[in-house]
Amino acid sequence: MKSQLKYIELKSGYSDDGPAWIGNVEFSKSGQTTYFNGHAFKGNGHGYCFDIETKKTYWITGIKKNGQNRHWAGKGKIMIDKLVVEDYLKLIDLKNLDFSKFELVDIEKTDKKRFTAIENGSIYLVDISDKYPDLKNLSVDELQNTIEYLARRENYTNPNNGQKYITVKKLEAEKLLEELQNK
């Protein structure tokens, strides 16, 4: 699929002023995975998407012709890929970039094969060491409750929307529970 110029903003942990970028994104064949700057996002590449590794939420959208991509309450410079500045200026019909609003950066090429392997590989091959530190401090009862909760979520989550990651977390919780019970 052809790459597209998009606005990408990290939402998790921020209001409307998370780190933001403008650059070319690429899509999977199905169009359900968006690749940008070393990350892969689930979603259709427009609106809320989540990073398939970190589970952080991002806002990905087209470029606004008026140049006002940030939410009105947001602040901070937008990082723009050096390679797309000309295309961006042409799209919004400007001659120069306002460096009080933008910062030129090099955007990392995304290794799509790595994410394809993550998404299509066996859940038993996913590296889960230290991926869920929130589980390590739970008691036996808390782990049992977490496993029940994750099992319910697993049953109601679409396989194309992160079911595998819920399953992996549930498996890690079950492994930790077994370790605690065998002590």
Q: Could you give the percent of the chain with pLDDT greater than 70? A: 87
> In this structure, are residues 78 and 102 in contact, taking their beta carbons and an 8 Å threshold?
yes
Cα gap 170→89, rounded to integer Å:
47
46 near 62, Cβ under 8 Å?
yes
**pLDDT reported for residue 62:** 92
Burial class of residue 56, CB neighbours in 10 A (0-12, 13-18, 19+):
middle
Domain ranges across the chain: 4-113, 121-181
- Rounded CA gap, 153 and 10, in Å? 24
Listed in sequence order, the residues at least 6 apart from 59 whose beta carbon sits closer than 8 Å to its beta carbon are: 7, 8, 9, 11, 47, 48, 49
Residue-wise pLDDT for 156-180, tens only, equals 776 666 677 778 788 888 888 888 8
Give the pLDDT band of residue 59 (cuts 50, 70, 90).
very high
Structure tokens at 150: 């994750």
Residue 94 backbone dihedrals phi, psi, to 5 degrees: -125, 160
Please choose, from the candidates 119, 105, 109, the residue with its C-alpha nearest in 3D space to the C-alpha of residue 42.
119
Judge whether 20 and 37 are in contact, CB under 8 Å: no
pLDDT score at 125: 55
Which comes out higher in pLDDT, residue 80 or 2? 80
Query: Tell me, what's the pLDDT at 35?
Result: 93
Q: CA dist 127 to 63, 72, 113, 122, 165, Å?
A: 36, 40, 16, 11, 11
Least reliable range by pLDDT among 70-84, 121-135, 137-151:
121-135
Please check the confidence at residue 88 and state whether its pLDDT lies above 90: yes
pTM of the model: 0.67
Q: Pick the more confident residue, 16 or 5.
A: 5
Helix (H, G, I), strand (E, B), or coil: what is residue 61?
strand
Q: Which of 9-13, 104-108, 121-125 has the lowest mean pLDDT?
A: 121-125
pLDDT of residue 28: 86
Q: Taking CA 46 as the corner, what is the angle to CA 118 and CA 81, rounded to the nearest 5 degrees?
A: 80
Quickly state the pLDDT bin for 9 (edges 50, 70, 90). Answer: very high
**pLDDT for the residue numbered 91:** 93
The continuous run of DSSP H or E covering 167 comes out as helix 163-181
